[in-house]
């Protein structure tokens, strides 16, 4: 079966940073700081990675190039607007001129937010939405330490508005990093659960990009290869005896998914995950993992030929199945994969009421990622899915 390019003649753009992949790619950082004209970088990271040996090797590499740096590690799991503003203040106060983000999506998104505020001023959440940023920020080098968010190559930054309990998406080519150093070594110290959640997040990126209304021939090839790699390697990746080769394949899968979604955008899974994760402060990858099979079930009929190719890339024998049977098979396959990597089907929350469900539904329907979902979901569709995956703690 060949690819189906339904938007053959519509205009599309594709942006990406410079990307270095391979073993010890992180140790090119000092040379690239100099190449990009940096004299005093600010390293944006979080305490969960700063104790690792591979992290000190990055610092040693920077120091060996006679470069002084500042460290900002006040970033929580869902980076808050206030943390971004604190980081921007420190950047300006210390006279920094370049940012090195080291970590998963949270430090990288926070670093993007810092870069926006340092050049454009104002408050980070003023830049919510698509193409609201006027000036590019200081050079940004990213060293991702999970195979999931691909914030290191994307045009997206997700910042938590903790006052209104919602995550805001900032989407602009002005926040595409200048350089991504894609190295499998940091992945070896991820926990099994983090590997599972981030890997399922990456798989969600690839699937949502492939069925997005804004897909293109360029995003399709990346999305399909990412689905193949992530499905093939995620179960090996969570084992204690995983190899560096396995983690390299996961990293590639995440990178390809990132290139796809950065340019094709996402869909209802992410719109609902942003709302859910923002309201209840839940981990992003876990939200996506739980929502994915539900949204595939809702979306399937709008682009059945695309879901058929996704199923094929996931290893499902599709030839004998009509669309109805394939829809069930694919949703079951995704749910079974989630179970096998140790992620449950529901969230337990301290309390649950109608007002919470209504608010989360409203926030999800306003999220920019909802615009590129292949079909329009009704408020009842969204609310029913939330009601089905949230359970009040007894």
State which residue has the least CB distance to Fe ion: 201
Closest contact distance (angstroms) between CB of 386 and Fe ion is 18
Query: What is the spatial distance between Cα 203 and Cα 201, in angstroms, rounded to a whole number?
Result: 5
Closest contact distance (angstroms) between CB of 205 and Fe ion is 6
Residues at the site binding Fe ion, with contacts judged by CB under 5 A: 201
**247 contacts 254 by C-beta, under 8 angstroms:** no
For residue 377, what is the DSSP state?
P
Query: What is the spatial distance between Cα 364 and Cα 379, in angstroms, rounded to a whole number?
Result: 9
**296 contacts 248 by C-beta, under 8 angstroms:** no
Closest contact distance (angstroms) between CB of 2 and Fe ion is 28
Closest contact distance (angstroms) between CB of 201 and Fe ion is 4
Decide whether 143 or 207 has the Cβ nearer to Fe ion: 207
28, 158, 367 from 128: Cα distances, Å: 33, 9, 10
Closest contact distance (angstroms) between CB of 285 and Fe ion is 7
Decide whether 17 or 38 has the Cβ nearer to Fe ion: 17
Decide whether 109 or 201 has the Cβ nearer to Fe ion: 201
Query: What is the spatial distance between Cα 195 and Cα 285, in angstroms, rounded to a whole number?
Result: 10
Decide whether 42 or 369 has the Cβ nearer to Fe ion: 369
Beta strands at 41-44 and 18-21: parallel, antiparallel or unpaired? unpaired
**β-bridge mates for residue 129, sequence order:** 170
Decide whether 183 or 201 has the Cβ nearer to Fe ion: 201
**β-bridge mates for residue 285, sequence order:** none
Query: What is the spatial distance between Cα 140 and Cα 131, in angstroms, rounded to a whole number?
Result: 18
Closest contact distance (angstroms) between CB of 202 and Fe ion is 8
**217 contacts 3 by C-beta, under 8 angstroms:** yes
Decide whether 115 or 262 has the Cβ nearer to Fe ion: 262
């Amino acid at each position: 079966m060949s690819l189906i390019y339904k938007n053959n003649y519509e205009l599309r753009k594709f942006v990406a940073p410079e990307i270095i992949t391979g073993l010890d790619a992180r140790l090119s950082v000092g040379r690239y700081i100099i190449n990009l004209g940096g004299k005093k970088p600010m390293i944006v990271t979080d305490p969960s990675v700063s104790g690792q040996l591979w992290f000190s090797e990055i610092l040693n590499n920077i120091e060996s190039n006679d470069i002084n740096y500042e460290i900002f590690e006040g970033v929580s799991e869902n980076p808050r607007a206030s943390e971004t503003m604190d980081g921007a203040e420190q950047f300006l106060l210390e006279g920094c001129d370049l940012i090195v983000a080291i970590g998963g999506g949270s430090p990288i998104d926070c670093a993007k937010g810092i870069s926006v505020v340092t050049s454009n001023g104002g408050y980070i959440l003023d830049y919510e939405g698509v193409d609201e940023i006027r000036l590019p920020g200081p050079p940004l080098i990213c060293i991702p330490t999970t195979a999931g968010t691909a914030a290191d190559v994307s045009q997206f930054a997700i910042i938590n508005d903790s006052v209104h309990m919602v995550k805001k998406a900032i989407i602009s080519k002005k926040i595409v990093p200048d350089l991504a150093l894609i190295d499998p070594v940091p992945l070896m110290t991820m926990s099994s659960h983090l590997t599972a959640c981030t890997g399922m997040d990456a798989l969600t990126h690839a699937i949502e990009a492939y069925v997005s209304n804004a897909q293109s021939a360029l995003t399709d090839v990346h999305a399909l290869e990412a689905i193949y790699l992530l499905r093939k390697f995620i179960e090996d990746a969570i084992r204690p005896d995983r190899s560096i080769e396995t983690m390299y394949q996961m990293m590639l899968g995440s990178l390809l998914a990132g290139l796809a979604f950065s340019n094709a955008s996402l869909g209802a899974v992410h719109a609902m995950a942003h709302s859910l994760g923002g309201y209840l402060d839940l981990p992003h990858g876990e939200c996506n993992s739980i929502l994915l099979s539900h949204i595939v079930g809702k979306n399937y009929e709008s682009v059945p030929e695309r879901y058929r190719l996704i199923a094929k890339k996931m290893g499902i024998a599709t030839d004998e199945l009509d669309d109805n049977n394939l829809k069930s098979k694919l949703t079951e396959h995704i749910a079974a994969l989630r179970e096998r990597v140790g992620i449950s089907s529901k969230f337990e929350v301290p309390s649950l009421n109608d007002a919470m469900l209504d608010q989360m539904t409203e926030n999800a329907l306003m999220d920019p990622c909802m615009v590129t979902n292949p079909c329009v979901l009704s408020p009842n569709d969204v609310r029913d899915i939330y009601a089905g995956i949230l359970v009040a703690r007894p």
